[in-house]
Each structure stands twice: as C-alpha cells, then as structure tokens.
Amino acid sequence: MDHVTIVEVGPRDGLQNEAQPLGVADRIGMIRALMDAGLKTIEAGSFVSPKWVPQMAGSAEVFAALPKDAGVSFPMLVPNMKGLEGALAAGVEEIAVFASASETFSQKNINCSIEESFGRFAPVLDGAKAAGMRVRGYVSCVLGCPYEGAVAVGAVVRVAARLHAMGCYEISLGDTIGVGTPRAAADMVRAVAAEVPMAALALHEHNTYGQALANILACLDAGVRVFDASVGGLGGCPYAKGATGNVATEELAYMLDGMGIETGVDIDAVCRVALDTCAKLGHAPASGVARVFAARG
C-alpha cells in the first residue's frame, strides 16, 4: 500500500491567525490529542516576535510539556537568530525557517527582503546544524501572492533550491492564499523537482478557493508524498490578507484513505480534536468530514 505523510500544522498555522488566542494548556491538550490520533509530525508553535504574532506566545512552554520519547517530532518556526536561541534554550530538536517567493510578502511577513532573509537564515542553519537540529524550509506564495498577484515559477524554484542547498532536509511549498489550481500546482512542483529531489518536497495548501484537495491530488500524481494539513481546516497567515485555513487534516486523510493510501491517521479521532478545538475558538470547523462526524453524534 502506498504511504503518504501528513504534517500537522494546526497548533501553529491553525492557531496563529485566530481572533481568540488559545492558551498554553489548551494548545498542549490539542497536540496530545493529535498525537493520539496518529500524527507523527506536529508543528507545535513558533519562536517569532509575540508583538507580531501574539497567538504563538508561550511556544516554549508548550514544547516543554510535550513527551519527547513518543516517536513524534515537533518542529517549531524560527525566523532569525533570536528565534534559534529560544528554540535551543527550549531543547527543540527540529525547526522550520520560512522564506517567500514574493518580495512584498517577505517584507510584510518577516520585515525584510528575500535576500536579507537568506542572510538571517544562514547563521540559523549553521547553529541548528551544530546543535544537531533538523531544519525544514518553507517557501510561501508559490502559486500567487496577496500583494503581487502572479508569482514566477522561476522565483519559487530559486528560493526552494537555495533552502535545500543550505541544508533544509525538506522544502514545504506553500500556497499561502490558496489561489492555485491543479495544473499550475503540478507544473510548479515538477519545476522545483528539477532542482530539488521530489522526495524532499512537501505541499502546503490553504483552501481559500476550495482548490486544496484538487491541488494535492495533482501533486500526488506528480510524485509528492508529504502534505501539510491542519485539523478542522484551521489556519491562515496574519500577513496574507484574505488567506483562510489549510486543507483540513481529516478531509485529506479521508481522501487518501478512500484511495487506498495509508496515512496512519485515525480520522474520527482527528474529527474529535477539530470539534473540541473549534468549540474553544468559538466557531465551526471548516471541514465537511468533521461536520458529518458531529452530526453522527
């Protein structure tokens, strides 16, 4: 049976844009429940400025409370050396740096140009390597930018290849505002795969235009085997106007399960996390699968 890895980004991407921040204890409970649902990689938070993203304050406390011997990795977002210092002090074993294929989005999101961001990432990668940390790399706006519109595939390829050459073991290609459609998504992935091995690529789909599962299917056919998703379809970047949630973990797992592709994810258990988390956030999950689960009782 074919296998696909789902990288759960709900506790980070899912919560970073919520009007009602979830406290540390609730975030720990959410992550533990996601572990129980079979997820093996769970992005647990970010070491960014709490002035920029207050929802992720307390990420060190969240990480400290997680079991480290359960065979689950908890990558944490890190934008600069200050973030790396926080991650090192917390004993984090995996981090993720995040670049953009769009100049304007880079400025809005991390307050520097693409080139400057690589200047910040270089010592982060060196320090992480010296400490034995694994580093994942994100590229945002791979299929469009909220400020610039169309983004050239060549820009995506350059940023992805550079992150990989710097030592990122996996490059997650982010459709930050969910504007991509299947052929464009697959063409973009194939172009990146000419420079970075397909096995080192992941797709990070937001579902703003309802295209996420279609894009994932097209990229699955193109050879991608790692997909980011967020429980309950939560998510969105505070610096990407109009961006909504990631593809829902339970909807992705449902599609793959129906195709005979194994994910190790317990769909009902993920639905329970979606409903519990959304109840705390005060809104319904953006997921048909979770809604059906709730209606079944």
Contact 223, 192 (CB under 8 A): no
Q: Give the 3-state secondary structure of residue 52.
A: coil
Cα radius of gyration rounded to whole Å, the chain: 17
Which of 141, 168, 237, 278 is the catalytic position?
237
Cα separations (Å) of 12 from 29, 52, 94?
Answer: 14, 14, 14
Binding pattern for the stretch 83-122 against ligand HMG, x by CB under 6 A and - elsewhere: x--------------x----------xxx-----------
For residue 8, state whether it binds Mg ion (rule: CB under 5 A).
no
CB of 150 to ligand HMG, least distance (A): 16
When the beta carbons of 34 and 237 are compared against ligand HMG, the nearer one is 237
Q: Which stretch binds Mg ion (CB under 5 A): 7-15, 118-126, 158-166, 275-283?
A: 7-15
Neighbours of 260 (CB within 10 A): 8
When the beta carbons of 83 and 127 are compared against ligand HMG, the nearer one is 83
For residue 176, state whether it binds ligand HMG (rule: CB under 6 A).
yes
For residue 10, state whether it binds ligand HMG (rule: CB under 6 A).
no
When the beta carbons of 55 and 127 are compared against Mg ion, the nearer one is 55
Q: Extract the tokens encoding 190.
A: 């194939």
Select the residue interacting with ligand HMG from 37, 48, 101, 179 (CB under 6 A).
48
CB of 172 to Mg ion, least distance (A): 9
Contact 40, 273 (CB under 8 A): no
CB of 264 to ligand HMG, least distance (A): 23
Contact 215, 185 (CB under 8 A): yes
Q: Which does 110 bind (CB under 5 to 8 A by kind): ligand HMG, Mg ion, none?
A: ligand HMG
Q: Is 278 a catalytic residue?
A: no
Paired strand residues for 31:
none
Select the residue interacting with ligand HMG from 4, 15, 16, 106 (CB under 6 A).
16
Select the residue interacting with ligand HMG from 40, 82, 134, 291 (CB under 6 A).
82
Task: Collect all residues with Cβ–Cβ distance below 8 Å to 208 and sequence separation of at least 6.
Answer: 177, 178, 179, 242, 243, 244
Nearest in space to 263 (alpha carbons), one of 246, 251, 245: 251
Task: Collect all residues with Cβ–Cβ distance below 8 Å to 124 and sequence separation of at least 6.
Answer: 78, 80, 81, 83, 84, 95, 97, 135
Neighbours of 192 (CB within 10 A): 26
For residue 13, state whether it binds Mg ion (rule: CB under 5 A).
yes
Active-site residue set: 237
List residues binding ligand HMG (CB under 6 A): 13, 16, 46-49, 52-53, 77, 79-80, 82-83, 98, 109-111, 138, 140, 174, 176, 204, 206, 237, 239
Residues lying near Mg ion in the complex (CB under 5 A) are found at 13
